[in-house]
Amino acid sequence: MKIMINGVDADIRTENEKTLGEVLSVLDGWLCGSGYRLSGLNVNGETINAGSVESFFYRDIDTVETLDISASSLPQLLAESYLNLIQDIDEYETLNIDDKPMFIENWKESPQAGMLSEQSPDIYNLAVKTFSGEFIGNSLPSELPESSDPPLRLFALERFRELQDPVSEFKRIESLVLNVCLKLEEIPLDFQTGKDASAMEKINCFSGIAEKIFRIISILKLGSYPINEITVNDMPLGAYINEFDAALREMLAANERSDTILVGDIAEYEMAPRLRGLYASIFDYIKGE
C-alpha cells in the first residue's frame, strides 16, 4: 500500500496494522503530534466523504493500493471552524422558532462543533447557549465596541482574525494593552475608596486582554515565528510567561480570599509592568512583519 499525504509520497510503511482503521489511527496520532489533523481521505482514487468513512475502517489493507490523506494545520482547521460557525449563525437567524431545537442537535454533531469543543470550549459553550436560546446578555470581546451583532458572531470573528493574521491582530491591540495596564495601576485606589465593583471590572478587562495575548502567542508559535527566541527583560520568553502565570495565580488566590490589599499590590507592581514588558517585547519582534 502506497501512503501519500497531500498527494506526496510519505514513504511510510505499515508494520502490524491489518485494517485501514488501524493505519489511520497511527497516522492521525503522528499528525496530531506535528500540529496537524487528518482532514480528508482518498482510497484507491476514491474520495471518501464523512458519512461513509466509518465503513472503510475495517477494510483489509491488502485491498488498498493507494491511501492519500489530506492533512491541515490546526490553526487552518480552527479558522475554518470559525467561518463555518459564522455561517451557522446566519442560518440559525433565518429559522422559525419551531425549527431551532432541531438545529442545535444537528449542530452539535457537525465537524466545526467537534473542533470547537476540543480547541475552543468557551466558544463552543457560548454557541450551545446561543443556539439553545439560553444566552442572555450583551457581553462582548473586550476590545470591540458595542454592536447590534450577537456576541457569538463577534467572538467568532475575533478568533478568526487572530488565526488568519495574528501579527496584525497583535499590533491592533497596542492601545488596549496600554489602557489595561493603566487600569491595573488604579486598582489599589479603587479598593481604598470603596470602588470594589470598578476594581473587579478592571481585573476582568485585564483577564480578557491577557487571554487574547496568550492565544496569539500560541498561534505564532505554531506558525513560522520563532518567538521562543524572544527575551523579556533579559529573561527567556518561556521563563517570563511562567513567572507571569505564577503572579497571576497569586493575585487570583488573593482575590478569592478578599485580600484587596494584596490584589491591588500585585495588580499595580506585578501584573501591569509584566504585561507591558511582555507585549512590548513581542511587538518589537514582529513590528517588521
Lowest mean pLDDT among 31-35, 170-174, 205-209: 31-35
Strand partners, 42: 47, 68
The overall average pLDDT reported for the chain is 87
**Cα 27 to the center of its chain, rounded Å:** 24
Question: Which one is predicted more confidently, 226 or 97?
Answer: 97
What mean pLDDT comes out for the span 95-113? 91
- The count of other CB atoms within 10 Å of the CB of residue 209 is 22
Kind and range of the H or E element at 188?
A: helix 174-192
pLDDT above 50 (res 138): no
Question: How much is the pLDDT for 270?
Answer: 96
Q: Does the predicted model carry a pTM greater than 0.85?
A: no
Assigned C-alpha cell, 1: 500500500
Instruction: Please give the torsion angle defined by the CA atoms of residues 75, 113, 41 and 37, in that order, rounded to the nearest 10 degrees.
Output: 30
What mean pLDDT comes out for the span 37-42? 82
pLDDT above 90 (res 209): yes
